[in-house]
Amino acid sequence: MKRLRIFLWGLVGLALFLFGLFAYQLTQPKDEFVESAMIGQPIPAFDLRPAIADRPGLSSADLADGNAKLVNIFASWCVPCRAEAPHLETLRMSGAEIVGIAIRDREEDVNRFLAVYGNPFTRIGADDISEVQLSLGSSGVPETFVVDGNGVITYQHIGDIRADDVAMILEKLREAGA
């Protein structure tokens, strides 16, 4: 009986400790900023086949042609990619050159997605096994990178681009082009 009592008090103590730990974590400020290890690094070497017939594929050499660009990682099956589509079009109409990397997608699905949500891309590479996505340090879709004219990543935007992000991304693109 004495052992059972000691065991139960031990469980109560453990439960109180865990409750206190969780309560403490809830009081800490939320840090939503993720620092990318790729900022300031050259884009990794790659050469992707075209994701659709009417746009060329994408290679790392295309990103080091002297012009700053946005590299948007997307997929036809990605719901947030649908939400960001009009904002990519706004960026394109504001003068941004946008290239895309379609992740684990089929040509017919990419074509259908672009027909419905618009095609702001000058080039679209097909990353069938997410190899390029992972080499860029991307953790999901959508993500957008600002790459300067030398092929160096200067900014990473995690998640979908929203209306209030457009001006900041255009500024990051201007800074990369300077």
- Residue range of the domain that includes 24: 1-30
Q: What are the pLDDT digits (tens) for 85-135?
A: 999 999 999 999 999 999 999 999 999 999 999 999 999 999 999 999 999
pLDDT recorded at residue 31: 52
Q: What are phi and psi of 48, to 5 degrees?
A: -100, 140
Spell out, as residue ranges, where the chain has pLDDT lower than 50: 33
52 in the same domain as 24: no
> Does 37 fall in a domain?
no
CATH code of the domain covering residue 84: 3.40.30.10
- pTM of this structure: 0.81
55 in the same domain as 25: no
114 in the same domain as 85: yes
| 125 burial level (CB within 10 Å; 0-12, 13-18, 19+) | buried
Contact 168, 91 (CB under 8 A): no
> Does 114 fall in a domain?
yes
24 in the same domain as 60: no
Contact 95, 70 (CB under 8 A): no
Total number of domains in the chain: 2
pLDDT recorded at residue 11: 79
pLDDT recorded at residue 151: 97
166-177 and 79-93 helices cross at what angle (nearest 10)? 60
Find the length of the chain: 178
pLDDT recorded at residue 4: 78
> Does 39 fall in a domain?
no
Output DSSP code: residue 150: T
Contact 105, 133 (CB under 8 A): no
Give 143's strand partners.
Answer: 73, 158
72 in the same domain as 141: yes
52 in the same domain as 25: no
pLDDT recorded at residue 16: 83
89 in the same domain as 7: no
> Does 35 fall in a domain?
no
